Amino acid sequence: MRNSMKIIVLYEELAGYFMACITDFAERYDAQVLVIRKESNPSAPFRFEKHPMIEILDRNLVSESDLFHRMKSFSAQAIFCAGWSNKFYLKICKHFQPTIPIILGLDNWWNGSIKQRISTSLAKSYFSKRFDRCFVPATPQKDFAIRLGFAESRIETGAYACDFVQFNNYFLENREGKRDSFPKRFIFVGRYVEEKGIDMLWKAFSEIQNESPNDWELWCLGKGELKPYEHPKIKHFGFVQPSEMRSYIQQTGVFVLPSLFEPWGVVAHEFAAAGFPLLLSDQVGAAEFFLNETNGFKIEHGNSNNLKSVLKSVIKMSDNELYAMGENSNRIASLHTPKIWAEKLYHLINLK
């Protein structure tokens, strides 16, 4: 039997993967969802289809007093707040915390730095007045949540999931074609910013082509502050909506994300689900779930020589080896889906 409920979501920049998760939650639990968000990032202008159970309000288009009134009249049974950087969201959480569950979405890693040790010791009483449970991606974030004062019994892992159905469909559509002829193309998807390691990737790939010319290309999907690197075997396609990824996934073979800083990286889950071998830096949080020795390689962040070595290793692999890696990626990706995400959020809301 499904239980009807209402939930408020306080979010920054909405993305397709989160909408897939919250849509599954709404439909699975007959839930009405009110989403407050920031306007779209020009570097990632995601579009979303309207859903009868989900209302989305842009906070930049509505006054704070009107948003407060709308949330009070909504009569939610819970609030999910993605992050703690927005002062208005924190004020909302503090207002509602005495009466309904307030869930913090946290993707910060615990790294044991002096700054983190000081901030966690000061934050415990502050957080306790605003949140009483926490939804995190994996173990490093769970460690941080515990140090912020959350009881382990009130923390769930698995806070991010890709639109598995969509990307698994891409995998199934291209499975036979890639078995017959594996595409000799790396693909990067993300913002063109330094923290993604994209400039290092361009440099490493171009050096390999100059030193040992080969058939491989590098396709890059995204945009941002960095100027696209010009090379005959590096292609730039700009930002691409997830719903328009089909042809790019069909024509490329290996996903690479050499980030210098990446708390999670849902895109790694997406390309694992699509059946790609993964090349992820050791700073990509999602590597904990979706990368092992059977489906790709880990890159030392900021190490151009190591990145070149990994790219060269892949270039030397046979089609059969790469295809097998992609199959393993898809199997690993299937272990976490929006359905599982929705079940975990529901469990958090209903903790006693």
**Domain 5-161+337-349 is in which class?**
alpha beta
The confidence band for 1, taking pLDDT boundaries of 50, 70 and 90, is very low
- On the question of pLDDT at 2 being above 80, the answer is no
**Residues above pLDDT 70, as percent of the chain:** 97
pLDDT tens, residue by residue, 220-257: 999 999 999 999 999 999 999 888 999 999 999 999 99
Give the model's pLDDT for residue 229: 96
* Cα–Cα dist 156/134, whole Å: 6
Domains 5-161+337-349 and 164-333 share a fold: yes
pLDDT tens, residue by residue, 92-140: 999 999 999 999 999 988 877 888 787 777 777 788 889 999 999 999 8
Neighbours of 28 (CB within 10 A): 15
Domain ranges of the chain: 5-161+337-349, 164-333
Q: Please compute the mean of the pLDDT values over residues 65-83 and round it to a whole number.
A: 95
> For residue 296, what are the β-bridge partners?
278
**Domain 164-333 is in which class?**
alpha beta
Q: What is the pTM of this model?
A: 0.91
Give the model's pLDDT for residue 142: 93
- On the question of pLDDT at 29 being above 90, the answer is yes
* Cα–Cα dist 50/44, whole Å: 19
pLDDT tens, residue by residue, 151-205: 999 999 999 999 999 999 999 999 999 999 999 999 999 999 999 999 999 999 9
* Cα–Cα dist 332/349, whole Å: 27
Q: Please compute the mean of the pLDDT values over residues 137-151 and round it to a whole number.
A: 91
- On the question of pLDDT at 279 being above 90, the answer is yes
* Cα–Cα dist 255/280, whole Å: 8
Closest listed residue to residue 27, CA positions, set 267, 273, 341: 341
Of 43-47, 96-100, 287-291, 318-322, the one with minimum mean pLDDT is 43-47
The confidence band for 352, taking pLDDT boundaries of 50, 70 and 90, is confident
Q: Please compute the mean of the pLDDT values over residues 308-320 and round it to a whole number.
A: 98
The confidence band for 345, taking pLDDT boundaries of 50, 70 and 90, is very high
> For residue 8, what are the β-bridge partners?
34, 79
Give the model's pLDDT for residue 43: 61
Q: At what angle do helices 164-180 and 319-333 cross, to 10 degrees?
A: 160
**CA distances in angstroms from 187 to 2, 71, 131, 153, listed in the order given:** 41, 42, 39, 40
Give the model's pLDDT for residue 116: 79
- On the question of pLDDT at 3 being above 90, the answer is no
pLDDT tens, residue by residue, 77-95: 999 999 988 999 999 999 9
